Structure 1
Amino acid sequence: MLSFKSRTSLLRRFGEDEGGNIALTFAVSAVAIMGCMGAAMDFSTLSNAEARSQAIADQTALTAAIFVRDNNHKPEGDDNGYLEGNHTAEDLGYEFKGWVDGGASNVNVSLVYDDSAKEARVKVTGRTVPTFMQIFGKKSLDFEAESIASYLQIDDKHPASIALVLDNSGSMNWDDKIANSNGSSPAGANPRIDALEDSVNKFSADLSSRLGTEDSSGQKTIRMGMLPYSSNIISDNRVDMKWGYLTPNEVNAMTPSGSTNSNPPMAEALQWMNVENTYHQNEADRANEDYREPLKFIVFMSDGQNTLGSYEFLADDTAPVLWRQNYNGSWSGAWASSYPNGRNGYTRGHLRRNTDRLTIDSCNTLKAQGAQIFTIGYALDVGDYHANYRNQPYATEHVNLWNQTNAYNLLLSCASKAENFTTAGDTQQLEEAFDEIQNAIVKELIRIKS
């Protein structure tokens, strides 16, 4: 055993040892950094749950108020509407991720029909399960959202034209979640195309139940079309603009294959919208009603960058990659993080396809004409994905930072505003993205109190 003198001498040497101080400082700093990261993850989870619950509250309140407006009474018995009282999110057909305590079956949706105020009031409550904060005894984090829809402020539905531009390239066969280390599919993974079909079917069915096909005068109000694409528009699967909504047979016909080129479908969507006013004008004339110019919406979903078209370079000091064009016309790149001060002959910026530029040109024209564009970047987390190739059970395909950056740049550039662009990492997030777009469209077409 060390003597008291030996112990104090050892402590003095440790205190004077700069290396020991550095190690101690690093250890303390690391704990603080890890704590901040853990807390940030927990509150990010809570924020996602709050956003999801707000979408559910808005949709439920609007649907309830529309029922009363159309039927002059609140739902009772076997009526096709939401009954007053408490429901679970699962009962109403919604899902929540596993990090919500008990899942959708433990998220409460309270609905009250207030005939005095002429409004439907909805409150959604639940709790998330934190990871880091459990260390400090915090076993759950509560979330809630509220929405009110007034019966009296719901006008007859405004006419609208909705076009879906949907990536059906070969990568839509891949899983939606990053593969296990051996290349196999992780738990809960789905082929991307299956998730897209399910999300679009729900999107179309929900819009149909909430908006119907006619206003109170019998005038048809909603037109919808779909443009699946790979290297070009997939002619066998396209659904030209029509009165009404997409059917499951039309949606489930989508089949992924080939390369990616979003220019032809976006140019076609522009042509569609250029003549939509005429269809709505003719319908107003038929119904002997005043013509109202239709609101126009584009939903543009892609799971990767365009792979066809010639390259164009755009200088950008914030871009993650340095590029240079070689003597033979080819391009080579280096990560800017590896060469923070630049590299001889290289310039920091974006190397995009001309098909990106042409797509953005069509988007800009649509926006200038008043169309609202929503965009979704799907399953673009960097990593390896199980490719679902026949006879290759562990084959994977890789999404890198450059692929992700190019895809996000295109989708963000096309969106009408930054908040109209969203990312969806997996099947449930894709459904949530379509739900949010659906709510935004309904709010544009039907006035809501709050």
Structure 2
Amino acid sequence: MTRIEPTAVSSAEISRRRLLAGAGAAAATGVLGGLVPATAHAAPGLRQDPPHTYLSTSGVPHADIGDVATLRAGLGWDPGDPNSFNQEWYDAMQVVFAQIASENPEAVLHQGDMVEGRWGNDNNTRWPNTGIFGPVGTPEERTLAVQAAADCYYSEWLRFRDASGVTTNWHFGVGDHEIGDSGRNGIALGWQYGAMETFKSKWSEYFTRRPDGGHKYTLRPVGTAWEDTAYAVRLDPLTLLVTVDPFVKRPDGIRSSVEGDQLDWLDELLASQREDGIKHILVQSESPAFGPNRAANTSQITMEGGAGSPFWRVLQKHRVDLLLCAEFHEITAHHDPVTQATPFQIVHGGNIFSSRSMNYLLIRTFPTRIELEAKRMAPATNLSPGALLWNTNRSTAERIAMKPGASPVGTLTINKIGPRPTLENRTGVFTEYVA
């Protein structure tokens, strides 16, 4: 971007600079926080072989799995209390992580629903009032219990992942279960509404901040309510990933929308990145912009305004290639309803114990095209029908098993040669979905 001397800077440009937060020289080099491989290189119009390969999913495991008997011993867990961990769940997660590793992706994108997240409660119908995360009698106590549960389950999530060895270049988005679980109409006024900042700050402590408290991502909406939960990073010199936080706090509740300062940041960011040579833009969000979508075990959240929302119009304006979404836990593909091309919205991922099974996308980028392949794992097996594993509010199956391997269920190519991208080789789950 062209440097403007201080005497010539307008208030709009000051706002632009604040929101982009250092997008200039670092973005131009394509090396942000060391997240672009030093060997990555490509030139528009030249053959690139092999392609860059990324994997996108969500809902791993979409349950509160953690050894509270160890982490909360003496802090709320007493002998005889239930646990939210066992060997079968650990093994099932390792099967999923091993499957991800088998694809050898350069980066893994995860849109949310890492946990069940109904924290600040102690009202499990089978094991009420355990006190494992402390008392929950007042809003203040419930907020402290959220912090304790987040420390337990997020640290355990990272421990399980790190044990698998799949630790390089994971980029996470915040889902509704990371803010306590949202119904289709959002989160109403009450203690959970008041604790939203606590939910988000604890999530960011583990996934967008470094151990010293600094930010992992240079490109983020600095000074806004989404600074810790929205960000962008170059995956390779031609490909930009943008993670948005689709949850906004309003006077009447928490809704699903990308608006205000976050939308301004997104608009400015995409413009500057196009100027700096970005060819492919991937945006990830827990909430899809619109439907209809296939559904399995979901609140079926979509963004306000749908395909007519300011958010979707910004994606159209900057020729975004893919909007990668979660929430519905099953695969649905939609092209842009106006252009019938890109942006291309894909809902995918799931939860380990979903009735439709875990699924993921492989995204392969070339200088002039993007190739997609969807894969599905076999459904988990309930090893103990009727028996439940404890968590603070809603239990899941006590013992499960996952089978290794995944089968292809769809393909798509985004061909970017010509005046506008075209969608080719659409098969299986990538065919346009009509309810």
TM-score, scaled relative to structure 1: 0.28
Q: Which has the higher contact order (CA 8 A, sep 6+)?
A: 2
Answer with 1 or 2: which has the greater Rg. Answer: 1
Q: Which has the higher helix share?
A: 1
